[in-house]
């Protein structure tokens, strides 16, 4: 399969009060389309920095980053914003929904910044996604009225709305209890089974166990890069035809 | 004038709101702005309180100012600020003409009057009141009274305060029909009709009989706007100018200090009313140039310049004061807005981070906060305008009723227009910096913000 993410010798240096911090010291990595990667490592190992780089939230000090066919390491702020709105989906530890917006409106936000004219069709698509994550009966609720797990499900739907190349998840279960965590991970796995590429930062081994590939980092380097064989085999058996078993599509019709 | 303001206002509002509404993101931002403000109603209200009070104060004070200004101007107008008074003045006795001729011929002529009438056709002059005034003995039975005969037209009543005690004043028909009718000043009526109702009775002026059609109440002698000596109007008898000329001819003979004097004066005075207070001075100059063809100083043109200049100075001072109030309210209100907007940006740092992560460009964030600031100040301006109007309409009657103060208020379009423009400008001006700060936040830092 084609590499959807390819980084070459990525270096990131911060200056914290004139003290040089080398967060990434030349990381190279390729991720295939349809892969499910867990980034692990102790704090300060550079895993969050790497995720920010992958999420085009920051520019590297040196090195190259190809997302699909595009070299994004040389892009300016506006172009990066456009890449984020079109090709990336984000899931955060603290859900990060907008409190003023309803469930559907929260899901719509990435489309808004893509410059797509919001109409009945886009709304239908957002409702479809909300229904897919099991919130079809709470379309007009506000985040404050939802539980943590429900909020994270809204976040998942939001991450899917632009049919992204890659979903980036930053400790998606960090604020959830273990039962809800499993529920969220099941959903992520389901997405992955439908062909979505997921890169997830976590420090819990049992969460990382859901991934097909586990990358451990230390001091700005990749320490190890292993395949979770039971998961890989599982995927091969799953039928990848773009729809989940329950009939939900992952691509917006006509968008 | 009003229409122009309203038109320009609508155009500006359209220019500001139109693109925002047309642009999908703009419309969303507008809705979002209103919703975020609604989320913190109290704070939003407090932050625009400065704007509300500012615009409200400008409108109310302007209304009071305009009201008293208007009242003062009306008072001046009543005195004749828009009037130009042209008088016949007897040239000095030793002048060559007076020495040669037995009859002193001078002053305004019918010809001059016709020249003025051209100006009236042009619209600059709205009214002309000719007057022929001369001393005259009045008789009835055995009674005699020496007063002044005033040959004039019905329009005389429009430029002078004529308090009627009985009957009516002269009417245009009296002139057209050359009626022998007279309106008596209060003392004339007392002198000639001490015990009876003078209406319908006749009196004798010169050789002819005149029917009394009206009697005036006593008028206090006033200094005329020309600055001449106070005239006592109570000895006057008003008669139609046309009839007057027919009966008395052009030469008036009267005794003065034991000798007869004969004068030929066609019109003693013409009072011209100018359509617009701004045109008074130029018209005055024009009148002077028309009269300059007499080649001698037998007329005097008096324009109530002093009072006009006073009124203008007052108006300028007032406009300056308004600008100061507007300026202060602008700065105070703007600082309030900026303060709250900066706090809002800090508070919503995380929201900014989320939006940036989801693909918002810097200018999207700038727009969002700017629109929020402008919505806030515009609503504040609107609310302030309503308050201002409310006070302008409610305070004067209340003050009159409670304390007996006379507080005239007149609402005009200009201050409302000005206040709203200022409110929007303040929103953009003081919202720009917080919006810029919000846009320049690092998305990663913003996302990490608690």
Q: What domains, with CATH codes, occur in chain A?
A: 32-62+76-237 (3.40.50.300)
Q: What is the dihedral of CA A95, A97, A103, A108, to 10 degrees?
A: -110
Q: Give per-residue burial for A45-57: e unless 16+ CB within 10 Å, then b.
A: bbbbbbbbbbbbb
Helical pair A103-114 and A77-87, crossing angle rounded to 10 deg: 130
Q: What is the pLDDT of residue A253?
A: 59
What token pair was written down for A36? 């499910």
Instruction: Flag whether residue B359 sits within 8 Å of chain A, measured between CB atoms.
Output: yes
Q: Residue B223: pLDDT above 50?
A: no
Instruction: Average the pLDDT over each of B83-97, B117-131, B273-287 and give the range with the smallest value.
Output: B83-97
Cβ of B354 within 8 Å of Cβ of A115? The answer is no
pLDDT at position B429 is 85
A vs B, Cβ pairs < 8 A, gives 67
pLDDT (tens digit, 9 = 90+) per residue, A106-129? Answer: 999 898 888 787 788 889 999 999
Cα separation, A156 vs A188, in Å, equals 8
pLDDT band at B307 (very low <50, low <70, confident <90, very high): low
User: Hey, are the CB atoms on B357 and A58 less than 8 Å from each other?
Assistant: no
Q: Does B316 have pLDDT greater than 80?
A: no
Cβ neighbours of B359 in A, within 8 Å = 81-82, 84-86, 110, 113-114, 162
Give me the DSSP letters along B361-424: -HHHHHHHHHHHHHHHHHHHHHHHHHHHHHHHHHHHHHHHHHT---------HHHHHHHHHHHH
Interatomic CA distance for residues A170 and A94, integer angstroms: 9
Q: In what order do the strands lie in the sheet with A70-71?
A: A19-32, A3-16, A62-67, A70-71
Residue among B350, B355, B362 whose CB faces A77 most closely: B362
Is A243 at the interface with chain B, CB within 8 A? no
- Please count the residues of chain B: 450
> What is chain A written as a DSSP string?
--EEEEEEEEEEEEEETTEEEEEEEEEEEEEETT-EEEEE--TTSSHHHHHHHHTTSS--SEEEEEETTEE-TT--HHHHHHHHHHHEEEE-TT----TTS-HHHHHHHHHHHHTPPP-HHHHHHHHHHHHHTT-TT-TT--GGGS-HHHHHHHHHHHHHTT--SEEEEESTTTTS-HHHHHHHHHHHHHHHHTT-EEEEE---HHHHTTSSEEEEEETTEEEEEEE-HHHHHHHHHS--SSB-TTS-BSS-TT-
A43 touches chain B (CB under 8 A): no
CB contact under 8 A, A113 and B447: no
Q: Name residues 2-41 of chain A within 8 A of B (Cβ).
A: none
For the segment A122-173, what is each residue's pLDDT rounded down to a tens digit? 899 999 999 998 898 999 999 999 999 999 999 999 999 999 989 999 999 9
Q: Read off the pLDDT band of A1 (50, 70, 90).
A: low
Q: Which of B16-30, B338-352, B401-415 has the lowest mean pLDDT?
A: B16-30
Contact flag A81-B360 (C-beta cutoff 8 Å): yes
- With contact defined as beta carbons under 8 Å apart, do A55 and A90 qualify? yes
Output DSSP code: residue B92.
P
A84 interface with B at CB cutoff 8 Å: yes
Q: Are the beta carbons of A82 and B359 separated by less than 8 Å?
A: yes
Q: Does B368 touch chain A (CB under 8 A)?
A: no
Cβ-defined contact of A113 to B24 (cutoff 8 Å): no
Q: What is the CA radius of gyration of chain A?
A: 18
Dihedral through CA B177, CA B182, CA B183, CA B186, nearest 10? 180
Cα–Cα distance list, B167 to A212, B131, B194, B233 (Å): 113, 22, 17, 18
Q: B24 CB near a chain A CB, below 8 Å?
A: yes
- List CB contacts (< 8 A) between B361 and chain A: 77-78, 81-82, 113
Assigned token pair, B114: 């016709």
Can you say how many angstroms the Cα of residue B182 is from the centroid of all Cα atoms in its chain? Answer: 35
* Average of per-residue pLDDT values in chain B: 80
pLDDT tens digits, residue range A42-93? Answer: 988 888 899 999 999 988 999 999 998 889 988 999 999 999 999 999 999 9
pLDDT score of A240: 45
Contact B357 A100 (CB under 8 A): no
Give the model's pLDDT for residue A236. Answer: 45
pLDDT category at B412 given cuts 50, 70, 90 is confident
User: Count of H helices and E strands in chain B?
Assistant: 16, 13
* CA B204/CA B181 separation, integer angstroms: 11
Residues within 8 A of B (CB atoms), A 88-117 only: 90, 92, 96-100, 109-110, 112-115, 117
Q: Is B39 on the interface with A (CB under 8 A)?
A: yes
**Comparison of pLDDT for A44 and A38, the residue scoring more:** A38
What is the signed CA dihedral for A43, A45, A48, A49, rounded to 10 degrees?
A: 140
pLDDT for the residue numbered A255: 54
Best residue of B344, B348, B351, B359 to probe chain A, by most A CBs closer than 10 Å: B359
**pLDDT for A53:** 92
ipTM of the complex: 0.90
Q: How does residue B401 score in pLDDT terms, banded at 50, 70 and 90? A: confident
Distant-in-sequence, close-in-space partners of B29: CB < 8 Å, separation ≥ 6? B20, B367, B368, B371, B372
**pLDDT tens digits, one per residue of B339-370:** 888 888 888 899 999 999 998 999 888 888 88
Question: Does the pLDDT of residue B406 top 90, yes or no?
Answer: no
Q: Which of B357, B360, B442, B449 to mutate: most A Cβ within 10 Å? A: B357
Task: Quickly state the pLDDT bin for B61 (edges 50, 70, 90).
Answer: confident
- The backbone torsions φ and ψ at residue B270, rounded to the nearest 5 degrees and listed phi first, read -125, 125
Residues of B with Cβ-Cβ distance to A58 under 8 angstroms? 443-444
């Amino acid at each position: 399969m084609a590499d959807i993410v390819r980084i070459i010798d990525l270096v990131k240096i911060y200056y914290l009060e004139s003290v040089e911090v080398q967060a990434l010291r030349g990381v190279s990595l390729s991720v295939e389309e349809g892969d499910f990667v867990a980034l692990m490592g102790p704090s300060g190992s550079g895993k969050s920095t790497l995720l920010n780089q992958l999420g085009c939230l920051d520019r590297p000090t040196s090195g190259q980053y190809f997302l699909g066919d595009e070299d994004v390491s040389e892009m300016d702020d506006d172009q990066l914003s456009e890449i984020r709105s079109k090709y990336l989906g984000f899931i955060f530890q603290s859900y990060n929904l907008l409190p003023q917006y309803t469930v559907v409106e929260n899901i719509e936000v990435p489309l808004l910044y893509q410059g797509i004219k919001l109409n009945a069709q886009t709304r239908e698509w957002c409702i479809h996604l909300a229904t897919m994550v099991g919130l079809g009966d709470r379309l007009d609720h506000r985040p404050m009225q939802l539980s943590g797990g429900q909020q994270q499900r809204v976040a998942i739907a939001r991450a899917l709305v632009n049919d992204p190349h890659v979903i980036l998840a930053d400790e998606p279960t960090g604020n959830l209890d273990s039962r809800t965590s499993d529920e969220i991970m099941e959903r992520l796995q389901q997405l992955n089974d439908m062909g979505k590429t997921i890169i997830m930062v976590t420090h819990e081994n049992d969460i990382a166990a859901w991934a097909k590939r586990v990358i451990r980092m230390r001091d700005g380097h990749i320490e190890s890069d292993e395949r979770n064989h039971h998961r890989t085999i599982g995927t091969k058996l799953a039928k990848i035809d773009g729809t989940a078993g329950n009939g939900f599509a992952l691509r917006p019709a006509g968008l | 004038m009003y229409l122009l303001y309203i038109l320009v206002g609508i155009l500006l509002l359209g220019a500001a709101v139109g693109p925002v509404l047309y642009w999908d993101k703009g419309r969303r931002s507008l809705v979002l702005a209103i919703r975020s403000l609604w989320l913190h109603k109290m704070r939003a209200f407090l932050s625009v309180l400065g704007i509300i009070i500012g615009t409200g104060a400008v409108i109310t004070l302007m209304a009071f100012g305009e009201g008293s200004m208007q009242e003062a101007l009306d008072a001046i107008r009543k005195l004749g600020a828009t009037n130009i008074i042209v008088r016949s003045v007897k040239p000095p006795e030793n002048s060559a003409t007076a020495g040669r001729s037995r009859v002193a011929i001078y002053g305004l002529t019918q010809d001059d009057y016709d020249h003025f009438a051209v100006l009236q056709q042009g619209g600059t002059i709205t009214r002309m009141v000719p007057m022929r005034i001369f001393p005259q003995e009045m008789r009835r039975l055995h009674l005699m009274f020496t007063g002044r005969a005033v040959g004039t037209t019905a329009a005389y009543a429009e430029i002078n305060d004529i308090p009627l005690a009985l009957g009516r004043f002269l009417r245009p028909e009296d002139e057209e029909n050359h009626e022998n009718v007279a309106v008596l000043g209060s003392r004339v009526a007392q002198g000639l009709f001490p015990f009876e109702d003078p209406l319908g009775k006749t009196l004798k002026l010169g050789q002819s009989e005149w029917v009394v059609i009206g009697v005036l109440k006593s008028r206090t002698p006033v200094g005329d706007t020309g600055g001449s000596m106070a005239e006592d109007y109570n000895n006057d008898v008003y008669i139609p100018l046309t009839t007057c000329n027919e009966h008395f001819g052009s030469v008036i003979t009267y005794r003065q200090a034991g000798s007869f004097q004969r004068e030929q004066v066609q019109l003693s005075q013409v009072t011209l009313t100018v359509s617009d207070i701004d045109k008074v001075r130029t018209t005055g100059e024009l009148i002077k140039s028309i009269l300059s063809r007499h080649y001698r100083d037998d007329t005097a043109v008096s324009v109530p310049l002093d009072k006009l200049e006073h009124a203008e100075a007052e108006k300028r001072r007032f406009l300056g004061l308004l600008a100061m109030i507007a300026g202060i309210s602008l700065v105070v209100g703007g600082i309030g807005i900026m303060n709250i907007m900066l706090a809002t940006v800090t508070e919503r740092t995380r929201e900014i981070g989320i939006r940036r992560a989801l693909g918002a460009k810097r200018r999207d964030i700038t727009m969002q906060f700017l629109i929020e600031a402008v919505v806030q100040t515009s609503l504040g301006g609107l609310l302030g305008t309503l308050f201002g109007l409310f006070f302008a309409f409610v305070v004067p009657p209340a003050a009159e009723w409670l304390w007996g103060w006379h507080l005239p208020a007149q609402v005009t379009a200009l201050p409302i227009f000005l206040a709203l423009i200022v409110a929007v400008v303040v929103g953009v001006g003081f919202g720009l910096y917080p919006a810029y700060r919000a846009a320049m936040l690092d998305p990663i830092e913003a996302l990490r913000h608690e």
